[in-house]
Amino acid sequence: MKEKIDLNKLPNHIAVIMDGNGRWAKKQGAARVFGHKSAIKAVRDITEGCAELGVKYLTLYAFSTENWSRPKAEVQALMQLLVSTIRSEVSTLMDNDIKLATIGDTKSLPSRCQKELSEAMEITAHNNRMTLFLALSYSGRWDILNAAKKMALDIAENRQLIDQIDEQDFANYLDTSGVPDPELLIRTSGEQRISNFLLWQMAYTEFFITDVLWPDFRKENLYEAIISYQNRERRFGMISEQVNG
Ligand code: IPE
Ligand code: IPE
Ligand code: MG
């Protein structure tokens, strides 16, 4: 499948809602946490797959603001897994020249997660091939509200003129500041919703929804998503003739 991808029409930025870990585990009579542990392989495979192709930004929805409402033991297990995974994957990130970054309210994460993350970000800071964003304690509404607060402060302190603020200025207050909007969103496990992910940034993103559960998602599935994206006509409100003219 890889040969069918047009490398000149690659998305710059792919966003992924990694969903279905719990159902994957349940299907084999295991605890949900086993699904989360088994998801690491998919994360590694897709991160590597994107970097190899030349995708510049990959954003993985790893933990939403709403996920804090899950049973305490599951939240704890996810945080523990985050720490151990970051620790073990730094060498893979270095080998693949990938920079690690985060979006979301990471200050709300346990301090050992924050420490592990900031160390990994520091170590990988000069890598250039691709940036991997982990969305942690992230939600689109949190991002927009946070941006609005920062902008309000700049207005109140005369660093911004309210009448001159355009969409680009506002986007610069978001956690994704400086990063192009994702052209492609992949959601696994068949759910057809956005679950409070990149609400502002996905205004014109193409959606690829697959029934594959996240722990089973591999490079071939990634290629299928990219090929599907490349076969679409993105009209941005215009008509076909304009886009092709
Ligand atoms: C996605 O898998 C991982 C996180 C949200 C952290 P789920 O845990 O949501 O799995 P399902 O949707 O219950 O199968
Ligand atoms: C979305 O998955 C969040 C992440 C993948 C981290 P959920 O499983 O939490 O989404 P909903 O609540 O079912 O929409
Ligand atoms: Mg889910």
214 lines ligand 2 (CB under 6 A): no
Residue 75 placed within a domain? yes
pLDDT-derived band at 80 (thresholds 50, 70, 90) equals very high
pLDDT of residue 29: 98
Measuring CA to CA, how many Å separate 164 from each of 33, 146, 173, 187, 200? 49, 20, 15, 36, 19
Q: How many domains does the chain have?
A: 1
Distance 129 CA to ligand 1 centre (A): 29
Q: Which residues participate in catalysis according to the annotation? A: 19, 67
Q: Which one of the ligands is nearest to 194 CA? A: 2
pLDDT tens track for 86-139: 999 999 999 999 999 999 999 999 999 999 999 999 999 999 999 999 999 999
In this predicted structure, the answer to whether residue 69 has a pLDDT above a threshold of 90 is yes
User: Under 8 Å CB-to-CB from 26, ≥6 apart: which residues?
Assistant: 32, 35
The percentage of the chain sitting over the pLDDT mark of 90, rounded to a whole number, equals 100
- The CATH number that applies at residue 140 is 3.40.1180.10
Mean pLDDT of 213-230: 98
Distance 127 CA to ligand 3 centre (A): 31
Atom of ligand 2 nearest to the CA of 20: 8
pLDDT of residue 242: 97
63 lines ligand 2 (CB under 6 A): yes
C-alpha span between 17 and 32 (Å, rounded): 17
pTM above 0.95, yes or no: yes
List the domain range (segments joined by +) for residue 36.
11-233+240-244
Residue 2 placed within a domain? no
In this predicted structure, the answer to whether residue 245 has a pLDDT above a threshold of 90 is no
Residue 5 placed within a domain? no
pLDDT tens track for 140-151: 999 999 999 999
pLDDT-derived band at 46 (thresholds 50, 70, 90) equals very high
**Nearest residue by C-alpha to atom 8 in ligand 2:** 19
Q: Which one of the ligands is nearest to 214 CA? A: 1
C-alpha span between 3 and 5 (Å, rounded): 5
Q: Average pLDDT of the chain?
A: 98
Residue 156 placed within a domain? yes
Atom of ligand 1 nearest to the CA of 191: 12
pLDDT-derived band at 216 (thresholds 50, 70, 90) equals very high
Residue 187 placed within a domain? yes
Distance 19 CA to ligand 3 centre (A): 5
Residue 6 placed within a domain? no
In this predicted structure, the answer to whether residue 17 has a pLDDT above a threshold of 90 is yes
Pick the closest to residue 139 from 31, 86, 65 (CA basis).
65
Mean pLDDT of 186-201: 98
Residue 92 placed within a domain? yes
